[in-house]
Amino acid sequence: MSDGVATSLENPLRAGLRLWRTPEPCIMVIFGASGDLTSRKLVPALYNLARERRLPGGFSVVGFARRDWDDAAFRQILLEAVNANSRTRPVEQALWASFAEGIFYHRASFDDPAGYARLAERLAAIDAARDTGGNRVFYLATPPEAYPEIIARLGDHGLNRSPGDGWTRIIIEKPFGRDLESARDLNRQVLAVFDERQVYRIDHYLGKETVQNLLVFRFANGIFEPIWNRRYVDHVQITVAESLGVEDRGGYYDRAGALRDMIQNHLTQLLTLTAMEPPVAYDADAVRDEKVKVLRAIRPIAPAEAERFTVRGQYGPGSVSGRLMRGYREERGVAPDSQTETYVALKLFVENWRWAGVPFYLRSGKALPRRVSEIAIQFRSVPTLLFADTPVNEIEPNVLAIRIQPDEGITLKFSSKVPGQAQIRPVTMDFRYGTSFGVASPEAYERLLLDCMLGDSTLFTRRDEVEASWALLTPILEGWAAGPPQNFPNYEAGAWGPAAADAFIARDGRAWRRL
């Protein structure tokens, strides 16, 4: 069974409540094993899964990279990485020793065919020694330029199909392309070697509990869906704010910018989950069908309209949380006259029966005052002010805010009378994951790695989804490129973006939420 579909053979001991399904033993081959993602996210996530009994015995990791390391050196480096980055620390020695028995290092360069031939032999040997049954996950954690080479070589060496009746899947990190054409190209290259059902395009935002809860919140509660439409909703604001600058990713970021780095993936995901219709089932294709329909319903923005529907910014020197921060153009790897946006705000319309006329404002930026991500549904105001004698000019509209980070939860703002006074005040009803459910939320990568091993692609991006999102944003990139250079930098590090962004939303008689 090489198509990546989960097995239908039932384990009778799994019947009933409480027990999680664990994946079959498999080997995860990480390309780019010496990189940051491997040590910061992937291996800590795998260690925690092993620690919490979510991985089967025999599970193995093969790191594929160029550095001159061996198994022992790689294990030691990963041990230090897990000790530094795991949500459970320090590492328990006995557990690590057992987990590390399944960690191997494969030294080769991505473009060396002999390296893949040796990899195939190595995987067969691990299958034989650790009973992993030919099941493989290839994880592309490399710079995106290396994807085509790796994918083609995997195909050349027959590594796209498993021996015996095992399965093979591939996880591809973002960015998936840098515009519509390159995304289509990459899809063509991937699908020349793998079937779509084997392909898991990862966006770690979908692994976050609150993001998944968005669907539960909408479709498991009877009271929200009737008001989740143009009749009751005034507008929607989706914010993903980062307080950090570009750090050591200047070289990559200067070629990407906020639209490619954040909007195309994370914010688009949040938008589609907020706006989608109820899927016919909670399964990979039904959910993704609805998300794609949202993307197709969004009114396209032509290149000539790009400036009207978007605002760009780039941070200059300033201070964030009391710490001085360099301007973007002073960062390593960034051109001194860079025109790359580190902030972007845009207004989109989902033109379907549910949402026609309701603007969706999206904003994301770096070097903003704090790290916060949320979706805010602002409802229409009451039609008239009944309480004219109260010392207020207007009653604040109800807002339902779904916070994704840092503290995940849901808040509903409504008006209430102040006891003993003729005053009306907004108050909030708060639901917090951290306090309502005592268990710590697993890291997004833990959930997604496990889903992939279990063969569930619901929380991964499908081919048409990624292309629809690029189809929407590529004309904006073209419009920006055709226009005059921007007067960057136009906001201070530590400010909520450029003044133009405030004017942009104020033109519609609205304001950004203060976060």
Partner 1 sequence: MNTLPFVDSATIESELQRLWQETAETSASGEAVTRALTLNLIARATDPAMAERISAVARDLVASHPNRTLLAICRPEETPPRIEAWVQANCLLSAPGVPQVCGEQISIDARGPVTAQIASLILALLAPDLPVVLWLPGPAPFDDPLLPRLLGVIDRLIIDSRDLTDPARDLKRMAVFDRDPGTPVGASRRVALSDLGWAALTPWRELTAQFFDTRPLLPHLRRLDQVEIGYVPAGERLNPVPGLLITGWLAACLDWTPLEDAVSIEGATLRLHLRRPAVGVGPRAIRLVTIIITPVGGATPGLASLRLRALDGVTADFHVQRTDDQGHVLTSAEVAGHPPVRRLTRCVEPSLAELVAAELRLLSRDAMFSAALQRAAIFAARLSYLEEPAGR
The residues assigned a catalytic role are 266
> Does 464 contact partner 1 by CB under 8 A?
no
The region of 299-307, 309-317, 427-435, 503-511 touching partner 1 under the rule CB under 8 A is 427-435
Measured from the CB atom, the residue of 391 and 406 that comes closer to partner 1 is 406
Q: Which of 51, 293, 326, 354 binds partner 1 (CB under 8 A)?
A: 51
Looking at this protein, which amino acid is placed at residue 47?
Y
The region of 97-105, 330-338, 368-376, 378-386 touching partner 1 under the rule CB under 8 A is 97-105
Q: Can you tell me the distance from the alpha carbon of 7 to that of 170, in angstroms, rounded to the nearest whole number? A: 17
Measured from the CB atom, the residue of 13 and 386 that comes closer to partner 1 is 13
Measured from the CB atom, the residue of 109 and 435 that comes closer to partner 1 is 435
Measured from the CB atom, the residue of 27 and 311 that comes closer to partner 1 is 27
| Binding characters for partner 1, 287-326, by CB under 8 A (x = yes) | ----------------------------------------
Q: Can you tell me the distance from the alpha carbon of 481 to that of 41, in angstroms, rounded to the nearest whole number? A: 34
> Does 12 contact partner 1 by CB under 8 A?
yes
Does the CA dihedral 24-137-71-164 come out positive or negative?
A: positive
Chain center to CA of 9: 32
Q: Which token pair is 369? A: 């005052």
- Is residue 243 classed as helix, strand or coil in its secondary structure? coil
Residue-by-residue DSSP string for 121-137: HHHHHHHHHHT-TT-EE
> Does 223 contact partner 1 by CB under 8 A?
no
Q: Can you tell me the distance from the alpha carbon of 426 to that of 379, in angstroms, rounded to the nearest whole number? A: 14
385 contacts: CB under 8 Å, gap ≥ 6: 392, 394, 395
> Does 53 contact partner 1 by CB under 8 A?
yes
Does the CA dihedral 148-150-151-155 come out positive or negative?
A: positive
Q: Which of 41, 75, 106, 130 binds partner 1 (CB under 8 A)?
A: 130
Q: Which of 9, 281, 386, 388 binds partner 1 (CB under 8 A)?
A: 9
> What distances in angstroms separate CA 47 from CA 40, 411, 446, 466, one per listed residue?
12, 34, 9, 30
The minimum distance between CB 439 and partner 1, in angstroms, equals: 7
> Does 23 contact partner 1 by CB under 8 A?
yes
Q: Are the C-beta atoms of residues 132 and 163 closer than 8 Å to each other?
A: no
Measured from the CB atom, the residue of 127 and 443 that comes closer to partner 1 is 127
> Does 16 contact partner 1 by CB under 8 A?
yes
> Does 87 contact partner 1 by CB under 8 A?
no
Q: Which token pair is 80? A: 């230090």
> Does 57 contact partner 1 by CB under 8 A?
yes
> Does 22 contact partner 1 by CB under 8 A?
yes
> Does 421 contact partner 1 by CB under 8 A?
no
Q: Which of 24, 203, 254, 443 binds partner 1 (CB under 8 A)?
A: 24
The runs of H, that is alpha helices, within 166-301 are 180-193, 209-219, 250-256, 258, 268-275, 284-297
Q: Which of 5, 21, 111, 244 binds partner 1 (CB under 8 A)?
A: 21
Measured from the CB atom, the residue of 272 and 373 that comes closer to partner 1 is 373
The region of 28-36, 239-247, 280-288, 435-443 touching partner 1 under the rule CB under 8 A is 435-443
Looking at this protein, which amino acid is placed at residue 234?
D
The region of 93-101, 110-118, 199-207, 338-346 touching partner 1 under the rule CB under 8 A is 93-101
The region of 90-98, 207-215, 220-228, 478-486 touching partner 1 under the rule CB under 8 A is 90-98
> Does 52 contact partner 1 by CB under 8 A?
yes
Does the CA dihedral 249-264-335-141 come out positive or negative?
A: positive
First to last CA, the chain: 49
> Does 435 contact partner 1 by CB under 8 A?
yes
Could you give phi then psi for residue 375, rounded to 5 degrees? Answer: -115, 125
Total residues binding partner 1 (CB under 8 A): 45
| Three-state secondary structure string covering 480-493 | HHHCCCCCCCCEEC
Q: Can you tell me the distance from the alpha carbon of 454 to that of 189, in angstroms, rounded to the nearest whole number? A: 25
> Does 15 contact partner 1 by CB under 8 A?
yes
Q: Which of 129, 286, 503, 511 binds partner 1 (CB under 8 A)?
A: 129
> Does 438 contact partner 1 by CB under 8 A?
yes
Q: Can you tell me the distance from the alpha carbon of 138 to that of 122, in angstroms, rounded to the nearest whole number? A: 14
Q: Are the C-beta atoms of residues 65 and 34 closer than 8 Å to each other?
A: yes
> Does 380 contact partner 1 by CB under 8 A?
no
Q: Which token pair is 424? A: 């009306």
Q: Which of 112, 131, 181, 508 binds partner 1 (CB under 8 A)?
A: 131
Measured from the CB atom, the residue of 109 and 416 that comes closer to partner 1 is 416
The minimum distance between CB 205 and partner 1, in angstroms, equals: 23
Chain center to CA of 73: 31
Q: Which of the residues 150 through 169 are near partner 1 (CB under 8 A)?
A: 165
- Is residue 347 classed as helix, strand or coil in its secondary structure? strand
Q: Can you tell me the distance from the alpha carbon of 515 to that of 368, in angstroms, rounded to the nearest whole number? A: 11
Q: Which of the residues 386 through 415 are near partner 1 (CB under 8 A)?
A: 407
The minimum distance between CB 243 and partner 1, in angstroms, equals: 16
Longest pairwise C-alpha distance within the chain:
82
Residue 266 is given by DSSP the state I
Type and span of the H or E element at 499 = helix 499-506
Q: Which of 67, 370, 425, 432 binds partner 1 (CB under 8 A)?
A: 432
Q: Which stretches of the chain bind partner 1, using CB under 8 A?
A: 7, 9, 11-25, 50-53, 56-58, 92, 94-95, 97-99, 128-131, 133, 165, 407, 430, 432, 434-439
